[in-house]
Amino acid sequence: MTRLYSFILLWVLSMFLIGSEASAEDLVVSSDFPGGSAEVIQVDQKQRTILIRPAGDPQFGWPCWWYFQVTGVTPGEELTVTVDASQLKQANGQKLSASWALPEQAAFSTDQRRWAQTRPGKKQGENCEWKVKPDAKVVWFAWGPPFVPTDAEQLVKRLSQKHANVTEFELCKTRAGRRVPALVVSPVGEKDNSRLAVWVQARQHAWESGGSWVGRGFIEWAVSDHPQAVALREKADIYYIPIMDIDNVATGNGGKNQVPHDHNRDWSEHPRWNAVQAAMKSLKQLDQQNRLVMFMDLHNPGPNSKQPYFYIAPPELNTERRKALQDAFIAVCREEMREPLKLDRSTPSTGPKYDKRWKEISSNWVRSATREHVIGITLETCWNTPHSNTNGYMTVGQQLGLGIARYLQQDPRQSPKQK
């Protein structure tokens, strides 16, 4: 009997040990990686809940961006993630609305490459809670699908290696010494100053990650075998910059309204930011060659916008011809941008009532500093909808490409009589 009791005791002990080993690991939250931003407030290991705040420094822009990693996940278990946006402050100390940091659906990934949306979250005051059942031991959560400096580097490198007519180049080094990757789509070895030039850039405001995904959709379409893309490349060189404010993207800061001003308030006689200075120099050269016909700046708007829309030239910078060309371009884009995100008919402008530095906004500088036929315009793609994900953004980018190609079927440099 003694042996039997000893055996039972050992069996019970072994079952206890096995059960202990099989218990859930501790959840560990980290944001120590490029683009990461999270102040961990609480992790409840029993309830499997996580509470964080955005951790951006208001001196470097609105602290609405958040992005963090969770390890120790048991695949298939339900995690509850809550973001507390009650403490958001601007650089001047004024409160920033929590709505900027609380999308209806957050982004999550188990490999940092493929990003999905959560189910709609549950908002309680200035907090929002999302529940997710990731099928992996590690998962990343973010305000929206991240697009960080390595993504920009890999995109321009991949396209330049795959396509003979794509050349990777460095727009500049930032004030912090980071490289700003860019590319140009142009026939190899051909220097034809009669060719049109199109300039597309994204992320003057670092937190607006959707702009980079729209840009990726555009540039991947532009180098594709689509007949309209082929026709566009036959007549136009395409310059593309995936991320302008790469320093704040890398450090997980918002960029918008940073001190003393953000990239999109810097297009002046003495620009502070190196990327803006380099872009202005290139755009001036293209305009002097009478090649520049379009400048496109890609952004995300406010949380209540549910459709993409264009910011157009204010009356102070318009002429009859400029308005006619702008209207023609928007008309073809409206025909292309229908699903899943339909282009809004609203076309606000960025004039004196919009911002005291309105003349230093990129598209307004382009309208002031280049020829009358050059379209300078900003596309705002909504981030707070069920289609504000990588596929939705990239589809908008492809549709934008179709709009540009259709608009440039005729050379806008020619006067109406010449046409």
Active site residues: 380
Cβ atoms within 10 Å of 146's Cβ, excluding its own: 22
Cβ atoms within 10 Å of 375's Cβ, excluding its own: 25
Is residue 192 classed as helix, strand or coil in its secondary structure? coil
Provide the Cα torsion 330, 277, 235, 191; round to 10°: 170
For residue 413, give the nearest of 293, 237, 286 by alpha carbon. 293
CB 55 within 8 A of CB 31: yes
Q: Which helix (H) or strand (E) holds 284?
A: helix 274-288
One-letter amino acid identity for 360? E
Helix pair 210-222, 390-407: axis angle to 10 deg: 50
CB 379 within 8 A of CB 213: no
Listed as own residue / partner, the contacts of 349-358 with beta carbons closer than 8 Å and 24 or more positions apart are 349/311, 349/312, 349/313, 349/314, 349/315, 350/311, 350/314, 350/378, 351/314, 351/315, 351/316, 351/317, 352/314, 352/316, 354/314, 355/265, 357/261, 357/265, 358/314
Helix pair 390-407, 227-235: axis angle to 10 deg: 50
Compute the distance between CA of residue 238 and CA of residue 221 in angstroms, rounded to an integer: 12
Q: What is the 3-state secondary structure (H, E, C) of 132-158?
A: ECCCCCEEEEECCCCCCHHHHHHHHHH
CB 202 within 8 A of CB 244: yes
Compute the distance between CA of residue 113 and CA of residue 256 in angstroms, rounded to an integer: 25
